[in-house]
């Protein structure tokens, strides 16, 4: 039987799709959720420090350790179930416990996380939440409860998964420093379906918080972008001025372009992550399949009114930054073209001047050649006359006659010699 060789990553990639199973949550129950991330360079953090921090928590309860290089873990710690996940920029801890506290959203629920363990966390809290799961046969009494638990102005409540559950929250931080979510499950709703909803609520809150980091960056960048925009506008105005030196303007424009590119490079990851987190938030809300509960706003409507404008601001800033970069690039190209044209004109004038000089030099050379022929001929004629001097006495030939005969011949010979030398040099 023929055998096939598997790709080295075949099983790893296939198992990745099943690596983060949803928790199984009973009703009634409670949950405490925590998301941590380093204050800076979260994507390049030391992930071994995250796993070491998880192991420190597990050792307090004598729980089994995760596998090396694990990115997720589920296990029992004392009377509670712990779910841990490592993501690109953050890690999350969720602790589930059966039954509800007598006082809703009691801070003792979060106390399962030891304070000294929290103090040594390799990061800061990006969000934390308390989730209360109750059984609700009908709708009676739900509005009264949520009115006591949440701020009415910010309350979002809806039926989800075909009225299998009712979820509520106000996305506000309570006096204990946590978000609050309430889940009312119908008696026939299964534990895994309830667990999926609880997981979705935690993901909505976490990715919403991570996406809002883009808004904070946008506000921080505002003054700097305004200053760069003013400088860029001034430089573009100088481009049309007759007194401005193109080389100086081009140098200043290149400096502004370099600053813009630096800003784009520093913000590209955060803006890209913000877009990804925004998409996840909207997807997580969509899969809940919300229906309105007694006329109140749904989670989707809450995000549309409060979250979407923030994301549009981030997208607008990103677009403005890219437009400024493109504008600076176009201006640099235009100014560079202008400088090249002016240099070409200067080069043309220089070439014309050089042509005139070459013509003058040629004329001067011809003049010098003519004078040289005359000078050489003068001395050559004298030499010839010295050679022919005896003829004056032996043949009675006058010196003037000899000079008249010798001069044209010498001139012709010298001229031919100069022309031959000139052709040889060419």
3-state SS, residue 139: coil
Q: Rounded to whole angstroms, how far apart are CA atoms 251 and 231?
A: 13
pLDDT at 420: 76
Domain residue limits, the chain:
21-199, 211-348, 368-425
H-helix or E-strand containing 112? none
Whether 1 shows a pLDDT value over 70: the answer reads: no
Whether 392 shows a pLDDT value over 70: the answer reads: no
3-state SS, residue 138: coil
Q: Give the pLDDT band of residue 240 (cuts 50, 70, 90).
A: low
Whether 145 shows a pLDDT value over 70: the answer reads: yes
356 dihedral zone (left: phi>0; alpha: psi -120 to 50; beta): alpha
Q: Rounded to whole angstroms, how far apart are CA atoms 395 and 177?
A: 137
User: What is the distance, to the nearest Å, from the Cα of residue 232 to the centroid of all Cα atoms in its chain?
Assistant: 21
H-helix or E-strand containing 159? strand 156-160
- Of 330, 202, 320, nearest to 271 by C-alpha is 320
Mean pLDDT calculated for residue range 212-232: 90
Q: Token digits for 174?
A: 């309570």
Q: Rounded to whole angstroms, how far apart are CA atoms 290 and 168?
A: 11
Whether 345 shows a pLDDT value over 60: the answer reads: yes
For residue range 79-136, list pLDDT tens digits in order: 999 999 999 999 999 999 999 888 899 888 899 999 999 999 999 999 999 999 999 9
pTM: 0.78
């Amino acid at each position: 039987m023929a055998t096939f060789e598997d790709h080295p990553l075949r099983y790893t990639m296939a198992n990745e799709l099943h690596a983060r199973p949803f928790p199984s949550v009973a009703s009634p129950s409670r949950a405490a959720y925590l998301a941590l991330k380093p204050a800076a360079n979260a994507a390049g953090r030391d992930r071994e420090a995250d796993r070491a921090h998880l192991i420190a928590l597990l050792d307090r309860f004598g729980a089994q350790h995760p596998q090396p290089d694990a990115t997720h873990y589920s296990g029992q710690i004392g009377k509670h179930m712990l779910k841990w996940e490592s993501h690109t920029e953050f890690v999350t801890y969720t602790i589930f416990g059966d039954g509800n506290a007598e006082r809703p959203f009691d801070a003792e629920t979060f106390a399962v996380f030891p304070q000294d363990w929290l103090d040594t966390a390799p990061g800061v809290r990006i969000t934390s939440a308390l989730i209360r799961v109750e059984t609700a046969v009908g709708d009676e009494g739900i509005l009264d409860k949520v009115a006591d638990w949440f701020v009415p102005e910010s309350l979002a409540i809806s039926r989800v998964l075909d009225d299998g559950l009712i979820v509520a929250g106000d996305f506000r931080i309570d006096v204990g420093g946590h978000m609050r979510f309430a889940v009312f499950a119908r008696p026939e709703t299964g534990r895994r379906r309830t667990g999926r909803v609880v997981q979705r609520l935690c993901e909505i809150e976490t990715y919403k918080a991570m996406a809002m980091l883009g808004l904070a960056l946008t506000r921080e960048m505002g003054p700097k972008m305004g200053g760069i925009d003013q400088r860029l506008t001034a430089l573009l105005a100088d481009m049309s001025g007759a007194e401005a030196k193109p080389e100086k303007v081009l140098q200043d424009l290149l400096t502004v372009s370099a600053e813009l590119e630096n800003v784009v490079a520093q913000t590209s990851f955060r803006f890209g992550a913000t877009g990804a987190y925004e998409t996840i938030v909207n997807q997580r809300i969509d899969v809940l399949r919300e229906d309105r509960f007694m006329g109140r706003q749904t989670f989707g409507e809450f995000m549309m009114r409060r979250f979407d404008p923030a994301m549009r601001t981030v997208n607008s800033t990103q677009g403005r930054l890219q437009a400024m970069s493109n504008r600076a690039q176009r201006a640099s190209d235009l100014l560079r073209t202008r400088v090249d044209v002016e240099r070409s004109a200067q080069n043309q004038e220089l070439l014309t001047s050089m042509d005139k000089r070459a013509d003058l030099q040629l004329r001067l050379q011809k003049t010098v050649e003519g004078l040289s022929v005359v000078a050489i001929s003068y001395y050559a004629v004298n030499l010839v006359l010295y050679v022919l001097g005896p003829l004056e006495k032996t043949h009675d030939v006058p010196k003037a006659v000899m000079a008249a005969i010798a001069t044209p011949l010498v001139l012709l010979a010298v001229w031919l010699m100069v022309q031959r030398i000139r052709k040889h040099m060419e």
